[in-house]
Structure formats: C-alpha cells, structure tokens
Amino acid sequence: MQQETVRAEAIELTYRDAVREAIREAIKRDDRVFLVGEDIGRYGGSYAVTKGLLAELGPERIRDAPLSESGFTGAGIGAAMAGMRPIVELMTVNFSLLALDQILNTAATVRHMSGNQFGVPLVIRMATGAGRQVAAQHSHSLEGWYAHIPGIKVVAPATIEDARGMLWTALQDPDPVLIFENVMLYNMTGKLAANAGPVDIDRAAVRRPGRDVSLITYGGSLWKTIEAATALAAESIEAEVIDLRSLRPLDDATIMTSVAKTRRAVIVDEGWRSGSLAAEVGMRIVEQAFWALDAPIGRVCSEEVPIPYPSHLEKAAIPQAPKIVAAAKAALGRS
C-alpha cells in the first residue's frame, strides 16, 4: 500500500530538471549555498540545467563567471574555506583540466597540509561523456582520473533520483565532492517520488539482480548495460547490473558480493582502457575475490582515440550494448 502511495505521488521529469531542482532546493535551504560557472545565468547553462534560476534566485546566488576555470574554481575553494557552500559548475570535464591545479593541489590537499585545521566543503559539477557530436575537446570521460586523487569524493549519478538527491548530500560533506553528469542523460525522463530525499554518495546499487555474470558500470553506461542485460535475458543469461555511483570511494563490498555470486565479471567504463577505472575495479576483484572467479574479468571501454566528431565514428568509439553483450558471453564461454 505504501508503494502504491509513493507511485501515485511520483512526478515525471527529466534528469536535467532533477539537477535544476536539486540546485534550487539547496540554495533556498541554505543561505551559504551559491552556484558559480560559465554561462549559467542569462544563457541558462550549456545544457539548460540552470535555465530560469537567475531570474528566480538572483545574481548573488547564480553567479556568471568569466571564461577562467582556474579563476572561478579557486574562488569557490576560497569561499568554501571561509564558510560558504559553493557549487562550481565546469562546462565539460575536458575544460576541468584548466582547473586541475586548483582541484588537485589545493582543494584535495588543504585538510592534509593544514593539519586538519581547514577543510574545503565544495561541490564541483561537470558534464562528462560523449554522444552529442561535440568532438574531442568536449566529449571525454575523465572521471577515472579524478578518482585517482586522495582528498576528494567522486560520484556519477545515473538515475533521476541520484541526480536530485546526491547534491544535497555532497553539500554536507566537509571535503570536496566532484559530481559527473553524463551529457546523454540530461534528456532522460523518469519518475521521482514526491518525498524523495538525500541519497548516499558512497554506496553502489544493484540495478538488476542476476546469477550468471556481474556487469559493473556507472553513469551514462548504466542504461546501455541494462539494455545489454535485457538482451542477454532473452538468451537465458541472467546478468546482475551494478551501478557504482561512487567512483571514490569504491564500494568494494557490493562489488565482491556480486562477483562471489555470479563468479564472472565484466566492467563497462566510458573512459579509455589503459589506466582506466575499469582496470582499478578489475584489480580489486583480483585482490579480494580471485578464488571466486570462474573466468577472466572482461572490460568494455572506449577506443584509444580522441572522441571523433562524425556520429557513426563517435558511436563506434564508446561502449554500446552489443559490445557489452559480446563481453558477457565471452565470460560465459559462449559466442
């Protein structure tokens, strides 16, 4: 009965709407919260996430910044250290590299270098991933790079609920949290319970239970992986789909529980294969669950090329459902 009530009260919205609502709610709830970034005001954001927020909340809370990622990320760090709760929006993960010094050498290290006297309660949001034909300077998945850095948390919301609920949780963290929003999810629609609240940012989720092979993924690749699992089910292969959600820290317990059950694993990661997050997850499985495995660990990653502009090449360069199906079958010794 309770489930029916929640379902009746659920509202339908896009992933983009969910992120906008999370920002709006956070700003209204806490006087310390503000958003700063490029084109987030009158333009409404490169992906229309912040459309209408400037008129509603004013320029003190929605702050358009010059084209200087290092500058306004540094300003966000300073504001966080001074007691504010800034949300910094970086237009794309590729452009975040212009603020890498601020993120790696300042935000992630202040607590350590100050002997725990200062923290940086900062949230940085950025678009990641390919699929919109915006070519090699706007399309890569570099969240695995950031997951390498101690001193920060890295999350990748793949659902409507996570897109809305992770932001408030991240704003309560005493240290920097980076949120990676896959560009192909912004138009995705789904239901959100009217009473939906904050969401954990350090736990993986089993999105589809299964017994034959564990498909481990995150972000934009989740829905391709679920599509692959549906195709496998038609061939009597029950794949368990794990949504990592948190890339740093990784939820080893959920991963190992799944692998211990299925005895096979395939990791789907839109990052490049060499030095990828998939490699880290695979090595952790070897370290912690090697004797549970009945087959080598598989990986489906992006091709080792800059993301191409032509649509057919872009699609070929990143993980797709047929590649995931093939990798799962290979783990099971089936063609």
* 318, part of any domain: yes
Least Cα distance to 248 among 140, 319, 170, 318 occurs for 170
| Residue 243 and residue 152 in one domain | no
| Residue 223 and residue 151 in one domain | no
Least Cα distance to 136 among 332, 334, 319, 314 occurs for 314
Percent of the chain at pLDDT > 90 equals: 95
Least Cα distance to 80 among 49, 40, 111, 58 occurs for 111
Tens digits of per-residue pLDDT, 18-77?
Answer: 999 999 999 999 999 999 999 999 999 999 999 999 999 999 999 999 999 999 999 999
Model's pTM, two decimal places? 0.95
| Per-residue pLDDT at 4 exceeds 80 | no
Is residue 74 helix, strand or coil? helix
- Residue that terminates a domain, selected from 135, 163, 192: 192
Q: Is the peptide bond before 249 cis (omega within 30 degrees of 0)?
A: yes
As a whole number, mean pLDDT of residues 146-168 equals: 97
* 178, part of any domain: yes
CB burial of 118-144 (b: ≥16 within 10 Å; e: otherwise) equals ebbbbbbbbbbbbbeebeeebbbbbbb
Alpha-carbon gap, residue 313 to 136, rounded angstroms: 12
- Residue 297 DSSP symbol: P
**Straight-line distance from the first to the last Cα atom of the chain, in angstroms, rounded to the nearest whole number:** 45
- Residue 296 DSSP symbol: P
- 3 confidence band (pLDDT: 50, 70, 90): very low
* 62, part of any domain: yes
Read off the CATH number of the domain in which 253 is found: 3.40.50.920
- Residue 14: what pLDDT? 97
Tens digits of per-residue pLDDT, 259-280?
Answer: 999 999 999 999 999 999 999 9
* 290, part of any domain: yes
- Determine which one of 38, 69, 143, 280 is catalytic: 69
Tokens found for residue 1: 């009965």
Asked if residues 149 and 108 have their Cβ atoms less than 8 Å apart, the reply is yes
Asked if residues 252 and 288 have their Cβ atoms less than 8 Å apart, the reply is yes
| Residue 156 and residue 251 in one domain | no
* 200, part of any domain: no
| Residue 168 and residue 54 in one domain | yes
The domain total for the chain is: 2
Largest CA distance in the chain: 59
- 78 confidence band (pLDDT: 50, 70, 90): very high
44 phi, psi to nearest 5 deg: 85, 10
| Residue 9 and residue 56 in one domain | yes
Residue 290, domain extent = 205-331
| Residue 18 and residue 138 in one domain | yes
Read off the CATH number of the domain in which 126 is found: 3.40.50.970
Percent of the chain at pLDDT > 70 equals: 98
* 97, part of any domain: yes
- Determine which one of 38, 89, 138, 161 is catalytic: 138
Tens digits of per-residue pLDDT, 200-209?
Answer: 999 999 999 9
- Residue 194: what pLDDT? 84
- Residue that terminates a domain, selected from 192, 226, 252: 192
Asked if residues 240 and 209 have their Cβ atoms less than 8 Å apart, the reply is yes
Q: Is 69 a catalytic residue?
A: yes
Q: Is 25 a catalytic residue?
A: no
Indicate the helix (H) or strand (E) that contains 214.
Answer: strand 213-217
Tokens found for residue 117: 């006297």
Tens digits of per-residue pLDDT, 135-154?
Answer: 999 999 999 999 999 999 99
| Residue 177 and residue 256 in one domain | no
| Residue 178 and residue 240 in one domain | no
Tokens found for residue 22: 């999370």
| Residue 285 and residue 187 in one domain | no
- Residue that terminates a domain, selected from 141, 164, 192: 192
- Residue 5: what pLDDT? 45
* 137, part of any domain: yes
* 198, part of any domain: no
Least Cα distance to 318 among 219, 236, 241 occurs for 219
| Per-residue pLDDT at 335 exceeds 80 | no
Alpha-carbon gap, residue 110 to 117, rounded angstroms: 9
| Residue 142 and residue 242 in one domain | no
| Residue 221 and residue 147 in one domain | no
| Residue 151 and residue 217 in one domain | no
Is residue 7 helix, strand or coil? helix
Is residue 43 helix, strand or coil? coil
